[in-house]
Amino acid sequence: MHDHECRVVQSSQIHTCTRATCLRFVRHGNLVCKRRAPWHLSVEEYVDEHGDWNPKRTYGFLNNYCLAISMTICCNNDIKPLTNGKETKDAIWYKTDYATKKQSKNNNVSALMVKALLYHQDHSDHIDSLLKHNHMLLFQCQQAVNREMELSGPQVMAYLMGWGDNIHSHHYVTLYWSLVKRALLAAFPQLDQQHSRQEHRGDELASFSFLNFIVETYEESIPSNEHVKRITSSLPQRGRPQNERSHYHEQHPCSHTHCQVIWCKGHNTLTNIVGPWFPHCNDPTTHDLYCASMLALLTPWQEISTLKEDNTT
């Protein structure tokens, strides 16, 4: 029994990193295993109060295995306990992708079509009607693509049983969440990230209108080695000069982790304004809202209540 276990584990459980399976290039051109092998070693199994866990492992390239599965089917298996909702969700997506054979790549469709077209040109001399000619060409193209298509078991069963392209186990209703979100943000403006970024932006950006602020800048996390960079920033830097950065005011929740970066000249960013149209300037019933919207969009402000001072109209 023990001998059998040793042979199965030795032949199928050892992780070997190769370019074809798991090695990926990361920054600076280093090759790193995407499965993060070799794994953390531990003399015994543990689960701590933060949900971190490790199986007993004395060799860094051995997949976790379940003895019963390994002994029964004699193949590689990699087990892990699911300690939280995110990992459970990820595992279910992963399995569903496999089971339903999602269509990921279709970049050989045009090559298949060309093959069908060439075949059609060689084998269609006997057809005299143009309509039949085209009908046959379409049929052959469809056949060529269809023959190479990968179908999942559930999909094949659904077609065989005549259930159609999709089966819904539940009935769905639409929920317009943007309405709820707008009500929430009106009640608690501090929850609005874009608004909060604008309100607590650094002094370098004080003259930017809201539109310019959105188009001309973007948020970026501050790298952990930033303090080193600040010390060495007086030294000549290699590579392209860094874009200008602006730090948030202290009150911003992300002032220590994120900053605003100003795009360099000639960037190609534009706004995509989502939501209803702006009110029309010639419509007297919405003229005030129009003026307020334009002021909010095109003038610099940090708190929206300061757009209209007591003495302005």
Contact residues for Zn ion, defined by CB under 5 A: 17, 22, 33, 35, 37
Q: How far is the CB of 18 from Zn ion (least distance, A)?
A: 7
Inter-helix orientation angle 153-160/85-100, to 10°: 50
Q: Which is nearer to Zn ion, 60 or 253 (CB)?
A: 60
* Region class of 275: left (phi > 0), else alpha (psi between -120 and 50), else beta: left
Q: Which amino acid is it at 160?
A: L
CB of 14 to Zn ion, least distance (A): 11
Q: Give the C-alpha separation, 211 to 271, whole Å.
A: 8
CB of 304 to Zn ion, least distance (A): 52
Question: Is the CB of 63 or the CB of 217 nearer to Zn ion?
Answer: 63
Distance CA 177, CA 229 (A): 43
Nearer to Zn ion (CB atom), residue 11 or residue 134 = 11
Smallest separation, CB 42 to Zn ion (Å): 19
**Which of 17/215 has CB closer to Zn ion?**
17
Q: Are 259 and 248 in contact (CB under 8 A)?
A: yes
CA dihedral 72, 83, 191, 210 (to 10 degrees): -40
| 8 A C-beta contact, residue 265 and residue 161 | no
Nearer to Zn ion, 17 or 113 (CB): 17
CB neighbour list of residue 25: distance below 8 Å, 6 or more residues apart: 31, 32
Q: Cβ 94 to Zn ion, closest distance in Å?
A: 17
Q: What is the Cβ-side half-sphere exposure of residue 191, based on CA atoms within 13 angstroms?
A: 8
- Give whichever of 7 and 34 is closer to Zn ion, judged by the CB atom: 34
CA gap 276, 286 in Å, rounded: 14
CB 60, min distance to Zn ion, A: 11
